[in-house]
A and B are shown apart, each in its own frame.
Chain A
Amino acid sequence: MDGATLTMPLLAVEGLTKRYGSRIGCADVSFDLWPGEVLGIVGESGSGKSTLLSCLAGMQAPDTGAVLWEGRDVLAFPEAERRRLMRGDWAYVHQNPRDGLRMGVSAGGNVGERLMAVGARNYAAIRDMAIDWMGRVEIGPDRIDDRPSAFSGGMQQRLQIARNLVTGPRLVFMDEPTGGLDVSVQARLLDLLRGLVRDLGLSVVIVTHDLAVVRLLADRLMVMKEGRVIEAGLTDQVLDDPQHAYTQLLVSSVLQV
């Protein structure tokens, strides 16, 4: 890592606001994300965390504010460059794997798509990469020619992660990656994600309503309510010593078995 990347955050968000008519999607959100850092965003349904994520990932245009990628405003990028970013340095893991996968294309084709999109033209090399990445997310090489529709929900989610990470992105957005999975599958997926994030030194923005997910994955945490960030800090600090009344409520609402 050179000096420039150490002195500049990978992603800097300044005063991001998105309104839906008179209602607020998210308001005046600012944060910095440093290389190799995992930022969790938690909050209840309707708190604006998904709006924030889709604004960050360029899927919606915010009303005001700036998203700086290595110091350059992503919102001012021409579309060609923004899409190049989306299939190169950035990746987006959807909550529902069906939104992020091509269900009519084999698992190998799904993983290979990003490679081919950035210019890979050697079949054997693409296939080797696909097998390698499917192995890393614990999908056997014998499933490479099966379609994702023949996979279980947990496998589909792991395949989506492999498909996103194959081109070596530096920043990954995740929208409730464990949503809709049963707890044992969730645990394995979290374990896998934690390993990948640590091994690859990924920067991640992860949105979830599940505090256990952020406890395991996130270095820092932002709590959102009604479109605003009400508390932010180190994950353990926020979860163990919540200051804001809503955060206290959120932490105390977690069921203990």
Chain B
Amino acid sequence: MSLTREQMAQRVAQELQDGFYVNLGIGIPTLVANYVPKNMDVMLQSENGLLGMGEFPTEETIDADMINAGKQTVTTVKGASIFSSAESFAMIRGGHVDLTVLGAFEVDVNGNIASWMIPNKLIKGMGGAMDLVAGAENIIVTMTHASKNGESKLLTACSLPLTGKGCIKKVLTDLAWLEIEDGAFVLKERAPGVSVEEIIEKTQGKLIVPDHVPEMVFA
């Protein structure tokens, strides 16, 4: 069985460490916040200018001046800080954020990522994605392994305009956990019940399959 969105978030959450500053993109990455292990402190960075993002407010505490980078109304946790967008991207560009999780359309064997632009469709912009992928050392891309038509999103070379060049090392799909090393995807883990054959079939870029590929374990 391929992973659900919630399971993907759960698997990403296993990569969190106590004391991490983390930037979560829109979609599946946002769900990771629901799976921060207890007894672990993680501070969420939102690129509009907030470190220490909390949960959604109540109807009583909602405040138009308190939003996240997805423009949703949020709250702050104790110990949070708020700053300008330049300060926010100084943190990102300067490599101070410990983990960045974001979605993508395509990733290739050279660590290139395409996530913002489909030519001849309406182009809304890259927002902060280009800064995040260029600035972060530790990035996890979350996406489905293949499109609804069965076309692989793990490619020899991205076909869409890039968001960043040579910056991706870890990819979690609904089928597998992969790492990018020396111009190839390395299959590290597979979703419970998903065969290595299915992953091979749905990976267009060069794939290295070790002798033993463990299944992901969920608590």
Is B truly associated with A?
no
Which residues of B approach A to under 8 Å, CB–CB?
none
